[in-house]
């Protein structure tokens, strides 16, 4: 039987059959996973049909960038190590000058979300193919989403050309990542998967991916904190980051990401730590409107019925800040933040009202442990 023209299941569909009506769009990327895989970089450039690569990284990852230039040999046309948090447009403009002057035909991002973000911004402007070599666990390397900041405002867009064509997960390159950065970038990835579980366009495939990503990161981050050179835990964290990023790349975002985009773009708060702090509060806020998602997070974390408490306790166990105050959020800007969140608001399973949003932001600012009786 055919579905109704308005997109709802045909009347003859009953029970579980009707529940299985969904749309799933797969993001296509070639994934290389395993220790030592960065050695394959030159071959991957050639497989793309390219000969002149621009390597993009941050000042902190300069050594990594230079080592990849050496791996590439004469395939390396240029190198730019000025990537920075929140992908400011003025930094992208400087990188574009380097790109134009070097006759580049592909992009290589080496490092965390800042390097990947800049590479995506360049790809969005040029259509050039990208190879991403992530060294953190944020997962943005497998999403077709670009967030850019200009004039204190962060905006996002989604397009196929923004997705890297190849991603190389080399666990050896993560061993130097400090435990604190490992923890915050991993919680950032978990936030992607949590929102995928209650996204407006969620579907069974993305939900399966999301739960397994949360499970993989929820356990491995604590192991990395105990022993930062645990290769098995590092590899499991990379696997989890890949899954969490993948599910974000296939469904939409909600209140959590909108809040973090405002806080990062407006106040330049650290990207991954902001996601880490905000996550427990938004999950608690949405708990009654997204009970299925809450159950999925609880299963993945083996946490009991209130996983927002487990996520808050993870911040403490991982030695991370537990409040927006600790991240440098201005005390007198909660009203401004609420107003900006409500402008062009993202869909959310629970309607977002200004007073309840202010209570959420206030609790996150103070770092009060989230609980069901907070009356967000």
The 3-class secondary structure across 230-292, one letter per residue, is: CHHHHHHHHHHHHHHHHHHCCCCCCHHHHHHHHHHHHHCCCHHHHHHHHHHHHHHHCCCCCHH
Phi-psi domain of 229 (left: phi exceeds 0; alpha: psi -120 through 50; beta: other): alpha
- Asked if 334 and 362 count as a contact pair (C-beta separation under 8 A), the reply is yes
- pLDDT for the residue numbered 19: 56
pLDDT tens per residue, range 199-229? 999 999 999 999 999 999 999 999 999 999 9
Give the 3-state secondary structure of residue 105. Answer: coil
Q: What is the pLDDT of residues 314-364, one digit of tens each?
A: 999 999 999 999 999 999 999 999 999 999 899 999 999 999 999 999 999
Q: What is the pLDDT of residue 153?
A: 87
Cβ neighbours of residue 59 under 8 Å, at least 6 residues apart?
Answer: 81, 82
Strand order in the sheet with 53-56: 30-33, 166-169, 130-134, 106-111, 53-56, 76-80
List, for residues 25-50, the tens digit of each pLDDT value. 776 789 999 999 999 999 999 999 99
Using CA atoms of 348, 350, 352, 355 in order, give the dihedral in degrees to the nearest 10: -150
Chain segment 68-98, per-residue pLDDT in tens:
999 999 999 999 999 998 999 999 999 999 9
7, pLDDT greater than 50: no
Tokens of 132: 């991403």
Distance of CA 185 to the CA centre of its chain: 8
Q: What is the largest CA-CA distance in the chain?
A: 63
**CA 249-273-90 angle, 5° bins:** 70
- Say if residue 9's pLDDT is above 80: no
Is pLDDT at 3 greater than 80 in this prediction? no
Q: Helices (DSSP H) in the chain: which residue ranges?
A: 15-19, 41-47, 62-72, 89-100, 113-126, 179-197, 204-226, 231-248, 255-267, 271-285, 291-301, 307-317, 334-342, 354-366
pLDDT of residue 6: 35
H or E element: which one contains 169?
Answer: strand 166-169
CA–CA separation, 286 vs 108, rounded Å?
38
Domains of the chain: 30-174 (3.40.50.1970), 179-374 (1.20.1090.10)
- End-to-end, the C-alpha distance of the chain in Å comes to 44
Q: Do the Cβ atoms of 27 and 144 come closer than 8 Å?
A: yes
Q: Which residue has the tokens 């923890």?
A: 183
**CA 61 remoteness from chain centre:** 19
Evaluate whether 189 touches 134 at the Cβ level (below 8 Å).
no
Taking only the tens place, the pLDDT of each residue in 101-148 is 999 999 999 999 999 999 999 999 999 999 999 999 989 999 999 999
The string of pLDDT tens digits covering residues 151-190 is 888 898 989 889 999 999 999 999 989 999 999 999 999 9
Q: What are phi and psi of 58, to 5 degrees?
A: -105, 165
CA dist., res. 364 & res. 190, Å (int):
18
């Amino acid at each position: 039987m055919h579905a109704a023209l308005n997109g709802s299941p045909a009347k003859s569909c009953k029970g579980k059959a009707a529940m299985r009506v969904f749309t799933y769009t797969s993001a296509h990327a070639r994934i290389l996973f395993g220790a030592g895989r960065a050695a394959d970089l030159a071959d991957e450039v050639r497989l793309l049909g390219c000969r002149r690569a621009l390597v993009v990284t941050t000042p902190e990852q300069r050594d990594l960038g230079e080592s990849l230039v050496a791996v590439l040999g004469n395939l390396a046309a240029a190198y730019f190590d000025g990537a920075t948090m929140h992908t400011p447009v003025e930094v992208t403009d400087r990188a574009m000058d380097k790109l134009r002057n070097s006759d580049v035909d592909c992009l290589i991002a080496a490092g965390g979300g800042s390097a990947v973000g800049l590479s995506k911004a360049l790809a969005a402007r040029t259509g050039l193919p990208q190879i991403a070599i992530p060294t953190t666990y944020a997962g943005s390397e497998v999403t077709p989403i670009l967030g850019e900041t200009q004039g204190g405002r962060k905006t996002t867009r989604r397009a196929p050309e923004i997705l890297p064509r190849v991603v190389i997960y080399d666990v050896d390159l993560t061993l130097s990542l400090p435990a604190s950065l490992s923890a915050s970038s991993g919680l950032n990835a978990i936030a992607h998967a949590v929102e995928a579980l209650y996204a407006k366009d969620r579907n069974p495939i993305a939900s399966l991916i999301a739960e397994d990503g949360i499970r993989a990161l929820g356990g491995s981050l604590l192991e990395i904190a105990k022993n930062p050179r645990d290769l098995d835990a590092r590899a499991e964290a990379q696997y989890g980051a890949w899954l969490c990023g993948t599910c974000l790349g296939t469904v939409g975002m909600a209140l959590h990401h909108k809040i973090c985009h405002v806080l990062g773009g407006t106040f330049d708060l650290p990207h991954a730590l902001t996601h880490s702090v905000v996550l427990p509060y938004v999950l608690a806020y949405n708990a009654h409107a997204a009970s299925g998602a809450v159950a999925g997070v609880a299963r993945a974390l083996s946490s009991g019925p209130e996983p927002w408490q487990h996520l808050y306790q993870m911040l403490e166990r991982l030695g991370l800040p537990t409040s927006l105050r600790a991240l440098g959020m201005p005390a007198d800007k909660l009203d401004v933040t609420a107003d900006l969140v409500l402008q062009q608001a993202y869909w959310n399973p629970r309607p977002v009202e200004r007073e309840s949003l202010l209570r959420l932001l206030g609790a996150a600012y103070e770092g009060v442990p989230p609980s069901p009786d907070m009356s967000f």
